[in-house]
Structures are given as structure tokens and as C-alpha cells.
Chains A and B, each alone.
Chain A
């Protein structure tokens, strides 16, 4: 069924833009072609929660008019994209995958959405995700799970499951996701696409519905490293509306890909290749490391000794911040209000009871617990201290290597329903992704072969703070070795 309504060709950002700019295809026709494929395929995948046809067509016509007039157009001119539903699009229903925001139409655009459109991108719609980005399988969406386009009985990963699935199924050329503990890299790995986690502060979060503010980041999904580099270049940079956005200069990521990888030092952390790592994934990564060596890289063993404490640390810090951030959903200013309540206190409680799903409640409870009197020092302060140790591990490793290569996930995509009964098992899915989140470094998942069952395998490249350029170069070399193999 994923074969239905094939596109004219498998578009990349570069191909789509060139076709539009050279007048071979209208941006409006490109958008229409994608909407037809969404109508044919997405009832099976369920990656889109809302379509923004009117806005998309107005934007596409604007791009077409600019091309016709011979005006300069942006680096994403006419490129159809999708936006994870935790990012606001003015006047378009934005739910964060939650019933508590059902029907909510935000009064402003997220900065990243504004930047994409300013670069000429055509926003096709909003993409499904785990409720408030809390989950590793997309099964926590209040609007139903997304299915993995590569195997419909399997999860696409989470929380940005819709963003990964839509790009994998060719329902859009690129998309935006968010990553708090692995929510870009893990679904990218499960669906066989490229996903980039920029350095903390690299991309504005204005208009992102907050989950854990010291961890949340916005980043792109694409079908090639070059496409992801072009997207990141558009998204990156300081923003007046986000005081945590960095002033650090943005690189020419696409141009820098041309530098290649000769002479780069690749670190391989032993802690990421221990018990529990699927043997096919291990073999695929080892093969990719051989490819990097052949391309002129040197491979070095590194140690990140506190790795085993990353998941516990993450689930203290992320839930503590979530319990605070999600207090704003109380039925007063936006979203759901319970009809049941006659007093203000009862209105708060009933609204939150009716509006939040079980995983969100679980995390709010856990976060409230670790911040509560008598437990703050043992849990929250302790986790902040361990976070410093985890970060120091990376900073020290990066004194001797340029990037680190590791698996993204211990296994390939698992089956729908396989882990829903055991939250702890689901949390352990994040074992290779959360440390980079806590440390604030950049990371990416790049396709690196498949299992014997045909499920995609992702390879994780981790880079120094603000050194996305080197990370993307290594990602491109891994990708090139795949296509030539």
C-alpha cells in the first residue's frame, strides 16, 4: 500500500528546488502531488494529524510567482515539508498529540516554521507524535499511533514518529522534529532516514510546546545528509524570541560537506557496544567504521565511563522539568476545560485528568515526586551532579577525537504493543541517545544498512558542541559508503 500513488520521482531538497527554480515543475504541482500521495498512503501510516492545504497552496503560488518574475528564491523554494505537532503554526490546530490541546489554534508561528517559509518551503501539515513528545514508539499519541512505513506492524519510533515516517514514506521531502532524549535520532533510525539533533541552543525553540527546557531541541529529518545540512543551515541561528538560542556563528553546512573526512579522528566508546546491543546492528556499525577507515579516518577507542547512569539521570531531570512545564495546562487560557467542575480547584484537577494520557500523568507524578520535599537532594540535585559527570565524559573524549560513532538504538524497530505494558522497558530504549541530550552536544542518525528482516539500522554520529559541520561530514561519508556498497 505504501506503493500507492508513487511520486514522479524520489525528490530530494536539491532536486525539488532545482525543478521549481528551473521551471520544470510548479511548486503548486509538487505540493498537490504530495497531497495525493498523502491521501492514498497516510490512512495506513497515520503520520499527519492536520493538513494545511490552503496555507501550502498560497505559499507555493508565491514561490511560483517569484520564479516566474525571475526573483531570487530561498534555499528551500517549493520544497514540501511537514511539522511535528509540538511546534506552533498560526491558526492551524496544534495538539502536541494530546487531548488537552484538542482543537487549539495557536496565535503565532514558531520561529523555525517562519524560517522554513521564509526560505521558500511549503508546509503541508502537522505530524503525529507521542503526547507532549513523551515516548519512544509514538504509541502515546492521543490520536492513535503512527506505523513504520518499512514494516506496518512495527513502531516508527518516537516521539517524532510522524516526522520520520512521513519522510520515509515520501509524504514530504523533509520535516521538523524535536529531540529531548532521542526523539529525532531514534525514529530516524527505525524508519531509515537522516535525523539531526543540533547542539543545545543552535536552533530557536520559540513556538515549541515545552517538555524539558534544559534538554528540548528542534531539528530536521531528511532522506539525505545533504538535505539535512541544507535544512539545518536554514533553521540555525540566534533568535530574539528565545533567550537560550546561541549567538555562535552558523556554518555553511552544505559547502563543508565537500571537505570530506580524510584525517578525521573517530572515537568508538566501548560502553555503547556492550551486552544488549543487537548483533546485526553491531556488525553494520563495524562495517561502517571500516568504510570510514578506508575514507582516511583513524579509529580510536574512547571511554564514556558514566554512560550507564544516563537513563536514570535523564528520567529524573526530564520528568522534573516536565512536571513544571505542564502545569500551564489547567483549563484557564487555552485547550480543554472540564465541564464537570464547579470550583476552580476541581476544574484544574478534572481538566488535567481528562486531558492527559497515562504516560504524561506518570511523568508528571515522577517529576513532582523527585522535586518534592525530602527527595529533592537525593534525586534532582543528584541527577544534576551526574549530568555534569556525563557531560565531562564527552568533553574529555573530544580532546582526542573529532566525532564519536555509536549505535542509535539497541534493536531495530519493535512491534506495536510490544513494550506498552512496561514503562521501564520503554525507557531503556533510550539507552544510547540520552547521554548526548544531557550533555548538549550535537548528534545525528544516518542509515547504515538493514537487518536480515529488512528493518533499517541507524548509526549515530556525535559531535562537539556547535561542531555540526564535522558531524555532518562523517554522516555523509557513512551514507556514501552505503550507496556505493
Chain B
């Protein structure tokens, strides 16, 4: 995983921005490409380590050998109880009819 193979082009940044639903301006693009290359170049040093026999760690509990909550022993009882008030939630929405969130049309004609 050499530095050259990692080089991120402006097209790559555009592709990733698209995946992330980010709009980038013409000024932002080259700057982001430069920064991403610098950071990814630094990150590449991880490849010095042989990790072929290492189990990936997603959560701290894995290492502690804590029981996972799969058996439900650390989950709360599954009972109906009051939640956040709908009116209070809808009051913060940019656009709503009081029951649903409203958004612009999905397909442009």
C-alpha cells in the first residue's frame, strides 16, 4: 500500500462527496484532495503491521470479554412506555403538516 497507489484525485473526491451527499464548491475540491492525500499518506503507516491473525475490534466490550447483550440480560424490558412528545418533535421540523415531515418532490419533471 504505497503512497502512490493511495493518491486521491479530484474525481475521487467528487465520487466520495457524492456518496456522502455533500456538495463541494470549485474552491473546496482541490483543497480537500490535498488534505485527504496528506492524511491518508500518514494513515498508510498502519500497513507496516502484520495483523493477519488479529480479530478486528469494533467495541471495547469485545476486549473485556463482557457479555454481549444478545441474551437480553443488559437490555431494558420490552414494554410500551411514553416517548418524546410528537408535537415537540414536529415543532423543530423545517416543514411539517403536524403529522408528517414534508420534503421537496423526489423526482424532477
Contact = CB atoms under 8 A, between A and B. Distances in A.
Nearest to A248: B66
B63 A424 contact: no
Contacts of B32: 361-362, 365
B10 interface: no
Interface in A205-250: 214, 240, 243, 246-247
A389 B16 contact: no
A169 B22 CA distance: 39
Nearest to B12: A369
B60 A424 contact: no
Interface in A304-340: 306, 308-309, 311-313, 315-316, 323, 327, 330-337
Contact of A343 (B54, B60, B108): B108
B60 A316 contact: no
Interface in B24-45: 24-25, 28, 32, 35-36, 38-40, 42-45
A428 B24 CA distance: 26
A201 B61 contact: yes
A254 interface: no
B77 to A, nearest CB: 9
B39 A107 contact: no
Contacts of A391: 57, 60, 63
Majority SS at the chain B contact face: loop
Bin chain B's interface residue count. 35 or more
Interface string B1-16: 1000000100011011
A392 B63 contact: yes
Given A313-B46, A343-B108, A369-B36, A386 B28 contact: no
A143 interface: no
A353 B22 contact: yes
Contacts, number: 176
B55 interface: yes
A233 to B, nearest CB: 22
A440 B61 CA distance: 9
Nearest to B92: A334
A372 B20 CA distance: 10
Most chain A beta carbons < 10 A, residue from B47, B54, B60: B60
A240 B76 contact: yes
B105 interface: yes
B69 interface: yes
Majority SS at the chain A contact face: helix
Nearest to B20: A368
B36 A107 contact: no
Contact of A465 (B21, B60, B105): B60
Interface in A361-395: 361-362, 364-366, 368-369, 372, 378-379, 381-389, 391-392, 395
Nearest to B57: A388
Contacts of A352: 21-23
A323 B63 CA distance: 25
Contacts of B19: 368, 372
Interface of B: 1, 8, 12-13, 15-17, 19-25, 28, 32, 35-36, 38-40, 42-47, 49, 51, 54-64, 66, 69, 74-76, 84-85, 88-89, 91-95, 101, 103-108
Given A342-B108, A358-B28, 6 more contacts: A107-B91, A333-B92, A343-B104, A366-B39, A385-B54, A386-B51
12 contacts: A309-B45, A337-B95, A345-B21, A345-B106, A353-B25, A361-B24, A365-B17, A372-B19, A384-B58, A385-B49, A391-B63, A424-B42
